[in-house]
Amino acid sequence: MLIAGDIGGTKTLLALYDPKAGPRKPIAQAEFHSADYKTLDDVVRAFIKQTDRPAEAACFDVAGPVIDGHARLTNLPWVLDEAEMQQSLGLKRVTLLNDLKAVAYAVPHLLPEDVHVINQGQEDRQAPIAVIAPGTGLGEAFLIWDGGKYIACSSEGGHGDFGPADATQAALWRHVADRHGHVAYERVCSGSGLPNIYEFLRETGHAPESALLAATLSAAADRTPIIMQAALRHPPDPLCAATVDLFVAILGAEAGNLALKVLATGGIYLGGGIPPRILSHLSGGRFMQAFANKGRFAELLGKVPVKVITNQAALLGTALFGLDQISALERATPSSQTAPPSHQKKRSHR
């Protein structure tokens, strides 16, 4: 059995898989509020207690870089180590995976019902594919073809410098720089960055802030869901709708940047928790306008397929990765009953 987990700054999603059933049919699944636990080990123990089923291995995607089996989460005060977790949880194997690498790993396995098409484009088969995912933070990843399959590659591109595309965005850059110093794309293109846009538009007098909304926001621990809900209601709150519109333009511009950097003519996939919730804004034209606004490369980008991932791709990719590891281990250690004696093994004729 495999425990697979999507470890985010806000929530942790865990699921239990039987290799025979595959990555789309978990035996059990549960969601936990990440901040309620001191360590990931505590979350996993709570899950094991709930399911009351044995597991031999675990694979977790985490919101941050994974280096030599070690990860320090970007938006959560957890420090993770594969070897330590393996010993602590009594498992045979624990694997840590960057969350966007997990999403990328899932992309070649997505079904038509797993995505919403923003731009049909013209898919260039076996060409690079890119993933950009605004959630609590902003994640980026890409896939390259190795001649037989796609290889998923992680990235921390969301922490690259925010490049304003017009005067309004330049003023936003100054607003955020005055408060935070370095202005990464994540500061203005993520769940944690959305309130920065809202505050900027409010303080520059773009639209008046309603007294009720102001009171609600001041009492909220997380302002992002409130801003998004007010932008999506009918009629929308003008200030919140403008916030989401500016967010979409920035997301489109950075998605276009990523497409150019890896020449992702195989497609751009929008992951994370935010895009599925704002499909109407993404489909309205502003995203693609910003995406393709790259001068001499506008025509090329206009042909790039753009799709929103609408399923739990990070968990799917993590489960796929973990189950592939189990399968590879089984192939590498055949049963002594089926393996021929060493003196009967055939010579290699390479």
pLDDT at 9: 72
- 3 state DSSP class of 318: helix
| Per-residue pLDDT tens listing for the chain (350 residues) | 999 999 977 789 999 999 999 999 999 999 999 889 999 999 999 999 998 888 899 999 998 889 999 998 867 788 999 999 999 999 999 999 999 999 999 999 999 999 999 999 999 999 999 999 998 889 999 999 999 999 999 899 999 999 999 999 999 999 999 999 999 999 999 999 999 999 999 999 988 899 999 999 999 989 999 999 999 999 999 999 999 999 999 999 999 999 999 999 999 999 999 999 999 999 989 999 999 999 999 999 999 999 999 999 999 999 999 999 888 877 777 654 444 544 444 444 43
Query: Helix axis angle, 99-106 relative to 313-332, nearest 10°?
Result: 80
- Give the HSE-up count for residue 56: Cα atoms under 13 Å, Cβ half-sphere: 8
Residue 338 lies in a domain: no
312 contact partners, CB below 8 Å, separation of at least 6: 6, 13
Note whether 218 and 97 are same-domain residues: no
Q: Are 128 and 267 in contact (CB under 8 A)?
A: no
Note the pTM of the prediction, 2 decimals.
0.88
* CA distance linking residue 276 with residue 270, whole number of Å: 9
Q: Based on the structure, what is the number of domains in the chain?
A: 2
Q: Cα 244–143–289 angle (5° rounding)?
A: 30
CATH code of the domain covering residue 193: 3.40.367.20
Tell me, yes or no, whether 301 lies in a domain: yes
CATH of the domain at 25: 3.30.420.40
Give the separation between CA 125 and CA 143, rounded to whole angstroms.
12
Shared domain check, 74 and 133: no
294 and 320 co-located in one domain:
no
**Assigned domain for 228 exists:** yes
Q: Is residue 232 domain-resident? A: yes
Do 94 and 134 reside in the same domain of the chain?
no
Range of the domain at 233: 111-309
The answer to whether residues 140 and 282 belong to one domain is: yes
Spatial neighbors of 175 by CB under 8 A, at least 6 apart, are 196, 199, 200, 203, 204
Task: Give the per-residue pLDDT at 334.
Answer: 63
pLDDT at 136: 85
Contact (CB, 8 A) for 99 and 8: yes
Same domain for 248 and 227:
yes
pLDDT of the residue at 90: 92
Q: Tell me the β-bridge partners of 33.
A: 11
Residues 89 and 39 in one domain: yes
Q: State whether residue 190 is helix, strand or coil.
A: coil
Same domain, 116 and 241: yes
Please indicate, yes or no, if residue 243 is contained in any of the structural domains.
yes
Q: Which of 183, 190, 265, 198 is nearest to 231 (CA)?
A: 198
Q: Is residue 248 a part of any domain in this protein?
A: yes
Q: Is residue 345 part of a domain?
A: no
Q: Phi/psi zone of residue 254: left (φ > 0), alpha (ψ -120 to 50 degrees), beta?
A: alpha
**Cβ atoms 166, 222 nearer than 8 A:** no
Q: Is residue 344 part of a domain?
A: no
Element housing 153 (H / E): strand 150-155
Question: How far is 45 from 91, CA to CA, in rounded Å?
Answer: 12
- Please indicate, yes or no, whether residues 208 and 132 belong to a single structural domain of this protein: yes
Three-state secondary structure call for residue 163: coil
Same-domain status, 287 and 322: no
Residues 6+ apart with CB under 8 A from 184: 138, 158, 159, 160, 161, 162
Examine the domain organization and report whether 316 and 302 are in the same domain: no
pLDDT on residue 72 = 86
Give the orientation angle of helix 40-51 with respect to helix 82-89, to 10 degrees.
40
**Residue 35: predicted pLDDT:** 86
**Could you tell me if 270 and 319 lie in one domain?**
no
